[in-house]
Amino acid sequence: MNTAAIIIEHVSKTYQRGKVRRGDIRSSMNSWWSGMGKEKEEFDALKDINLTIQQGDVVGIIGPNGAGKSTLLKLLSRITFPSKGRITIHGTLSSMLEVGTGFHPELTGRENIFLNGAIIGMKREEVARKLDSIVAFSGLEDFLDTPVKHYSSGMYVRLAFSVASHLEPDILLIDEVLAVGDQEFRKQCMDKMLDVSNQGRTIIMVSHQMSYLKDLCRTGVYLHAGSVLFQGNIDDTINHYVHHYKETKRTSIRDRSDRRGTGAVKLAGLEILDQNGYPLHLLSAGSPVSIRLQLDLQVAIAYDVVIQLEFLDIYGQLCFVANNSMSNHSIPKLDASQAVECLVPKFPLNTGTYFINTAIYVSNQLSDEVLNAIDVEVAPGLFYGTGKLPPPHKGLLVEYNWK
């Protein structure tokens, strides 16, 4: 008989945005004193969530930015509380949310380890027995007695994950923070989480890296705009997410708000064209294509413009990168809004769905980054020119010779 580790019943979380009225100081103060200083605008970060997570399950929470994933984990961690509904948790819980939560910045790494143990109800002697393994896993022996406010984000994540995973909570929550660590440490963390799950503990993980979720999780929850759109096994959840993402992604790139950078040069549009200049909605592996980027400029840019395109599969795995600096192709002087094209003589991705991330740099500063700018559907193609189709597996195709 399955035992529920977490029961979420009709949970909603509502926040308020306050808009201060404009005017002179006297009228603003009078409005404030009269209780009219702010207009309340409510929005629902989560809407009537109902979930039951079984003991020992490994659950991936999937969804776009603003879907409510981090809010849900904060409710489970009791950092904040539901506006409506009830959450029941059976067992001890440890969470590893965004960098900066969970540790006291003035305390040393050692002191924070004991503090976190006390928070989840462990005795000091129990924590002391695990101290050596926590420190060894983190690789921060030389910084253990340094206040964590002096740690880099990578050091913080190393210690935070080591503490969260070694103190043996019944439930472990992880929110995207492993993106800060290097590849070797992420592999180390994945192995540790597999070990934790094999001990029958419950793991709930938020990540945009679908490959991590696919490798680790058994079940998934797809959140969108604060609501659960799908719950099932992890493969079906990822497929629902990808399908819904493609169907609903109609917002113009120019209007995207989830971007970062100085804004000196911004991506306004992106499309893939065939060799005759017509838009392609379905590519063939091995076919010649042109990737056209429409750029908006704040001022004329004469030099030092670098554009990078990253091609990722549906699990977030990077397949290949196109970067004009790496191939020694300089971008000509940019005046006002204009288009730049990346020519790919033989498109190197095999059958499947892929996404393109874009990044524009001006004088070594990030000017604009848009993740998942567009999706690309690739059909089988005669990449090798032999009349034989490559096996229908996603991934990169390369040219080679035998002798």
* β-pair partners for 296: 266
| 4-18+38-248 and 253-379 share one fold | no
User: Does the pLDDT value for residue 102 go beyond 90?
Assistant: no
- Rounded to whole angstroms, the Cα distance separating 204 from 195 reads 14
Average pLDDT over residues 337-356: 91
CATH of domain 4-18+38-248: 3.40.50.300
Q: Ranked by mean pLDDT, which of 22-26, 152-156, 226-230 comes out on top?
A: 226-230
* β-pair partners for 172: 94, 203
CB count, 10 Å around CB of 146?
14
User: Does the pLDDT value for residue 246 go beyond 80?
Assistant: no
For every residue of 45-92, DSSP letters joined together read: EEEEEEEEEETT-EEEEE--TTSSHHHHHHHHTTSS--SEEEEEE-S-
- Both tokens of 173, joined, read 């929550």
**Location of structure tokens 């009791």:** 78
For every residue of 290-355, DSSP letters joined together read: EEEEEEEESS-B-S-EEEEEEEEETT--EEEEEETTTTT-PPPPB-SSEEEEEEESS--B-SEEEE
Q: pLDDT tens across 174-185, in order?
A: 887 665 555 677
At 76, is the pLDDT very low, low, confident or very high (cuts 50, 70, 90)?
very high
Q: Which residues fall within 8 angstroms of residue 2, CB to CB, at 6 or more apart?
A: 54, 55
Question: Where do the domains of the chain lie?
Answer: 4-18+38-248, 253-379
At 7, is the pLDDT very low, low, confident or very high (cuts 50, 70, 90)?
very high
pLDDT number for residue 20: 43
Helix (H, G, I), strand (E, B) or coil at 141: helix
Q: pLDDT tens across 183-195, in order?
A: 677 778 888 888 8
Q: Are 88 and 7 in contact (CB under 8 A)?
A: yes
Q: Degrees (nearest 5) of the Cα angle 39, 42, 45? A: 150
User: Does the pLDDT value for residue 250 go beyond 60?
Assistant: no
Q: pLDDT tens across 295-336, in order?
A: 988 877 767 899 999 999 887 889 999 999 999 888 877 777
User: Does the pLDDT value for residue 97 go beyond 90?
Assistant: no
CATH fit for domain 253-379, picks 3.30.930.10, 3.40.50.150, 3.90.76.10, 2.70.50.60: 2.70.50.60
Q: Which residues fall within 8 angstroms of residue 196, CB to CB, at 6 or more apart?
A: 165, 172, 203
Share of the chain above pLDDT 90, in %: 37
CA atoms within 13 A on the CB side of 309: 24
Q: pLDDT tens across 62-75, in order?
A: 987 778 998 999 99
